[in-house]
Amino acid sequence: MTATKLLALRRATTSCYATSSSVIFYRRKCDDGVLTRKRFVCASSSSSNESSSSSEEAPSANGGDRAYTPKKVWGPPLEVSKTLNRRPTVLEWRGPNFPQDQSDGLVFLVDKPQEWTSFDVCAKIKSMSKKMGVKKIGHCGTLDPMATGLLIVVIGRATKLADEYQAKVKTYTGTIKLGEKTASGDADNEVIETKPFGEDIVNEASMEAARASLIGDIEQIPPMFSAVHVDGKRLYESAREGKTVERKPRPVHVGAFSIKRRETENETHLIDFEVTCSKGTYVRTLAEDFCEKMGTVGHLVKLRREKIGDFDVKDAFELPALLDEISITVSEHQNQKNSYQ
**291 close to 259: Cβ distance less than 8 angstroms:** no
Q: Which residues contact 260 (CB under 8 A, 6 or more apart)?
A: 173, 272, 273, 274
Cα atoms found within 13 Å of the Cα of residue 320, Cβ hemisphere only: 2
Angle between helices 118-129 and 319-340 (to 10 degrees): 20
Phi, psi at 239, each rounded to 5°: -65, -40
Active site residues: 144
If 0-12 CB within 10 Å is exposed, 13-18 middle and 19+ buried, where does residue 143 land?
Answer: buried
